[in-house]
Structure 1
């Protein structure tokens, strides 16, 4: 997993202060719509990572340097920051510890229906498949152990490429769908256009 660089990492306590002091600060939540509905920072905008990746140029054109990218732990937000940096918006910050850390620090959040976040679902699915492969290899056929090997190889590839095929597959499951999924029109074109700043929010 890729961690935010020291220059881009932002502690939850600092974000709390910035939200009070800076009106032109935009918080972009790159988690799925279902995760966003479950818990999000008040005033944040939901632009899921796949949508952001598809329309990076268009999104970056609407933003200034006062951008905070958030997710569940910071991993997807860092991926989003790298995408934004590739089109010239290199001053975005990544919230350390994600939305849960902000809530734990006393930040103002909006709570909805409780759901398992996507990263937790990936851990459950991967762990269950490894156990299934080991148990099946012992009880059914040694060939079933290849399932565990395939999961291990997949996780290694995921870490190396900083992608997650299992996460994308799980995100498409019915229980991970919100009533209204964000689109280019609803999530990007409706964002207020920020005025450029010479300095970051700090």
Structure 2
């Protein structure tokens, strides 16, 4: 069962002047780059009911619905699936996440940060392909296998809408 959703434009209208309980499940680096204030920030990989309840305590009423956001909406859906049976609050995913909110109005607050996770993934994948082609040509042809592996990884990331390299890079020290 999918979580209840709200369009970004409706969320922007609702957010204006109201103290909504907003759960942001993006990485700290993504939040530093673009954030809605106020919010509860718990990355998806660290999200559990105990952590959420502890951070919500004193900020929001337990009977308020919880609006869940991420960058594009997929992680917010996963967060709702994770919390649905553990907390009594109504969970609502903001469709399209921060990308859609940014387009809808611009409630976000931008802070100077390192390059985005997505750009870091493209840089890493491109570098791996380039270096493995060079190594395959000058060192040994076995290095061409790495080029193929990166290609397969990119195809899988596109089909599954999940990126293992992105998750790995998001845990790097400069993205904390």
* TM-score scaled by length of structure 2: 0.74
Q: In the alignment, which residue of structure 1 is the partner of 2:31?
A: 36
Q: After superposition, give the CA deviation of every residue in 1:54-81 in whole Å (9 maximum; x if it has no partner).
A: xx23256566571222122223222222
8 Å Cα contact 2:63-2:89 kept in structure 1: no
Give 1:46's match in structure 2, choosing from 33, 41, 45. 41
Q: In the alignment, which residue of structure 2 is the partner of 1:167?
A: 166
- The structural deviation recorded for 1:43 is 1.4
Q: Which runs of 5+ in 2 are unaligned?
A: 57-61
Q: In the alignment, which residue of structure 2 is the partner of 1:57?
A: 49
Q: After superposition, give the CA deviation of every residue in 1:60-104 in whole Å (9 maximum; x if it has no partner).
A: 656657122212222322222222235466952222332233123
Q: 1:42 to 1:14 in 2, by over 3 A?
A: same
Alignment of 1:102-121 (within 5 A): 102-121=101-120
Alignment of 1:121-140 (within 5 A): 121-140=120-139
CA RMSD of aligned residues (A): 3.1
SS of residue in 1 equivalent to 2:100: helix
Cα distance between partner residues in 1 of 2:15 and 2:102? 14
SS of residue in 1 equivalent to 2:112: coil
Alignment of 1:1-202 (within 5 A): 8-20=4-16, 23=19, 25-52=20-47, 56-59=48-51, 66-85=65-84, 87=86, 91-155=90-154, 164-177=163-176
Cα distance between partner residues in 2 of 1:65 and 1:166? 36
Give the structure, 1 or 2, with the largest relative contact order (CA under 8 Å, sep 6 or more). Answer: 1
Q: 1:59 to 1:147 in 2, by over 3 A?
A: same
SS of residue in 2 equivalent to 1:68: strand
* TM-score scaled by length of structure 1: 0.66
SS of residue in 1 equivalent to 2:84: helix
- The structural deviation recorded for 1:16 is 0.9
Q: Which runs of 5+ in 1 are unaligned?
A: 178-202
Cα distance between partner residues in 2 of 1:109 and 1:66? 21
8 Å Cα contact 1:72-1:117 kept in structure 2: no
